[in-house]
């Protein structure tokens, strides 16, 4: 997601940042939370073209985005199943925020979680669905993809970075703020519960959006680093 065109749109670039290409042109409504399909041919995202957030899918080579949801409720933060057949998303169509899923080609949506759900991610082996229970929650839960008990995995207690986590083969990567000027990426091992630091870096990640992702081969992590902040001073004349 980038606002370089004047509004938040979905963009695509090479793995080294080269040749950025704008994929959407909504020209105003926020488009965000992009997620690759397993075959790399499509990208699911959320957008608010009429003010109400829905899930859309666009081909990775460009073209007209296809609307996947059209419910009057809030549908946000999509994620693909590992077999590419389903798209998970967060919705309040049953009251509170829960995880739902529907066929990637369109069809009826099915509610998955019962006790709250936000930002779904399916495990690499396609056996588990990981999620938090609400916006701003740093506690990660999981449940079998075919339904079952919802169980807590761990809480990384970083409320500002509650959306900066991703699931890998053996556990979960997440970002924490070491100080006001330094952050680190850590890995929580699902087998023994151990936590280790993978990398430390100067600066902070963008806490309001998802962004920590792992490459398909499990060798690289990508994260949204805030490299600079700024503001302007304004003067109001003839103030009363």
Regions of the chain where pLDDT drops below 50 = none
* Per-position DSSP letters for the chain, written without gaps between them: -B-TTSS-B-EE--TTS-S-EE----SSS-EEEEEE-TTSSEEEEEE-TTSS-EEEEEETT----EE----SS-EEEEEE-TTSSEEEEEE-TTSS-EEEEEETT----EE--SS--EEEEE-TTSSEEEEESSTT--EEEEEETTS---EEEEE---GGGTT-EEE-SSEEEEEEESSSSEEEEEEEETTT--EEEEEEEESEE-TTS---EE-TTSS-EE--EE----------TT--
Alpha carbon distance 227, 240 (integer Å): 38
pLDDT of 99 reads 98
Alpha carbon distance 8, 173 (integer Å): 26
Alpha carbon distance 192, 177 (integer Å): 24
Cβ neighbours around 118 below 10 Å, total: 21
pLDDT of 50 reads 84
pLDDT of 172 reads 94
pLDDT of 98 reads 97
pTM: 0.90
pLDDT of 203 reads 86
pLDDT of 138 reads 87
pLDDT of 188 reads 92
Domain architecture of the chain: domains with CATH: 1-111 (2.120.10.30)
């Amino acid at each position: 997601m980038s606002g370089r065109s004047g509004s938040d749109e979905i963009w695509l670039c090479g793995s080294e940042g080269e040749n950025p290409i704008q994929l959407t042109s909504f020209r105003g409504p926020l488009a965000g939370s992009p997620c690759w399909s397993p075959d790399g041919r499509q990208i699911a995202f959320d957008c608010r073209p009429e003010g109400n957030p829905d899930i859309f899918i666009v081909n990775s080579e460009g073209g007209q985005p296809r609307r996947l949801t059209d419910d009057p409720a809030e549908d946000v933060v999509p994620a693909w199943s590992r077999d590419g057949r389903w798209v998970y998303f967060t919705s309040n169509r049953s009251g509170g925020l829960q995880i739902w899923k529907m066929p990637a080609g369109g069809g009826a949506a099915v509610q998955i979680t019962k006790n709250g759900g936000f930002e779904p991610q399916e495990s690499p082996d396609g056996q588990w669905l990981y999620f938090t229970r609400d916006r701003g929650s740093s506690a990660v839960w999981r449940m079998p993809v075919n339904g079952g008990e919802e169980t807590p995995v761990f809480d990384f207690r970083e409320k500002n970075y509650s959306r900066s986590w991703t699931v890998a083969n053996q556990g979960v990567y997440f970002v924490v703020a070491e100080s006001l000027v330094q952050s680190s990426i850590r890995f929580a091992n699902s087998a023994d519960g151990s936590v280790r630091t993978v990398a430390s870096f100067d600066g902070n990640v963008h806490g309001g959006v998802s962004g920590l992702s792992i490459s398909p081969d499990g060798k690289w992590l990508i994260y949204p680093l805030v490299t600079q902040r700024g503001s302007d001073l304004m003067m109001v004349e003839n103030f009363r």
